[in-house]
Amino acid sequence: MSNVRVRFAPSPTGYLHVGGARTALFNWLYARHTGGTFLLRIEDTDAVRNTPEAVRVIFDGLQWLGLDWDEGPLPGGGARGDRGPYFQSERRAIYDRALRFLLDHDQAYESDGAIRFRMPRKKIIVDDLICGEVCFDCTLEQDFVIQRKDGSPVFHLVNVVDDLEMKISHVIRGEDHLSNTPKHLAIAAALGADAPRYAHIPLILNRSGSKMSKRDIGASLSEYQDGGYLPQAVRNYLCLLGWSLRENREIFSIEEATARFELDQIHRSNARFDADKLLWMNGAYLRSLDVDEILPHAQRWLESAGFPVEKWESAYIKEVVLLIKEKVKTGKELAEWAQPFFREEISFQPDAVKRFLTAAGIQALRELLADLSEASDFTAAALEERFQKLARTHGTSVRTYVHPARVATTGREVGPSLYGTLTILGKDRVLRRIRRAIESFAS
């Protein structure tokens, strides 16, 4: 294993932002690419805003994305690793020691009840692995608070102390932290330690071109977890927010990203979040993935939609997923389209009834009911042949039967392949639903 040690250090203040998820992903990719260590640290010093539920959201989000951590707190309690505690709220004694060291060495002083750090009045160069050398003129920089009047330590201090104590080799974080880095380098030097290497990744912008905030639609990772997105697709898209394979290909596996991820290939320009592109990518993944890979996600989507999937054999669910996944872009859409397969009593869309269950439509259903009652082969190919033969017999278009049949059996006018739908529903359910439609809508 290499000496690379990186960390993701979120604050549990609500939900996991896509920017935070992207930061976690880039750290994870670098650790896996180099054979290093990926560490999770929870920055929970803000007791007012931090909640246990928000910590669970972080665990759930990282696990959903498949970003396993080598060191840090575990969802069920306890921790993995020997550099803990991994919650900042449990590290107060460590910060107090650092404060005492700075005070004793005249690198900090007390002022109005707070403790301030003596910022060196000089130019400080940040040798950033992405941004290059950035010079900050700190000759007029003010001393800054590192412990508040209430005794709580400030971000600048705890962030540096934790990185040093946990032997972090590379700090990979958002470019909005670049201006903090001279302070962090100065604190590390005052503590007599070598700072980690810094790599500041580009900001994620919203549609209007400003920094994506928690208030923006699509900013929360949970929106994609709950909205029926595949973690593979979200992970792939997050890779593209500041990094690429440097070839004209946007869809690639996490294994390929891991093999080729380098910090010096991260772009300098900010990345614009494109929800439409992510939606397209999710649809591409739904179409391309094997049904067995999608099945556990599909079961969760169906359960969330209120379908008791335990009532159905996994083979049946697979058939439904295989039929629908070519036509939808999210699991939420998949669950919506799957309703006729998991509910005995279907609901009819009024517009569909008005368009296709007219007197002519009901007559077509009667003819279809008589024909399908005689069918011994209910496969998609055989059904298509029966529909075409029936149309030829009555001198009409096959659409005469297709549209009323779809509405009668699914309640809607749009859906996946009708013949595949009828096959999965099975002969008994199809005939029962056609009879019900005739009884309900015949004038």
Whether residue 229 contacts residue 282, with contact meaning beta carbons closer than 8 Å, is answered with: yes
- Give the helix ranges, DSSP H, for 240-274: 254-260
Q: Helices marked H in 4-67 — which ranges?
A: 18-34, 52-65
Exactly one of 214, 277, 354, 389 is catalytic; which is it? 214
User: Cβ neighbours of residue 203 under 8 Å, at least 6 residues apart?
Assistant: 19, 174, 175, 176, 211, 212, 270, 271
Going 179 to 181 to 185 to 188, the CA torsion angle's sign is positive
Torsion-angle region of residue 106: left (phi > 0), alpha (psi -120 to 50) or beta?
left
Q: Is 214 a residue of the active site? A: yes
In b/e form, how buried is each residue of 176-206, taking b as 16+ CB within 10 angstroms? ebbebbbbbbbbbebbeeebbebbbbbbbbb
How many Å from the N-terminal Cα to the C-terminal Cα in the chain?
A: 76
- Residue 9 sits at φ, ψ, to 5 deg, of -130, 75
The annotation status of 214 as a binding-site residue, yes or no, is: yes
Alpha helices in 41-87 (DSSP H): 52-65
Residue type, 105: H
Residue-wise burial string across 119-145, b where 16 or more C-beta atoms lie within 10 A, e elsewhere = bbeeebebebbbbeebebebeebeebb
Annotated binding residues for ATP, written as ranges, equal: 214
Catalytically annotated residues: 214
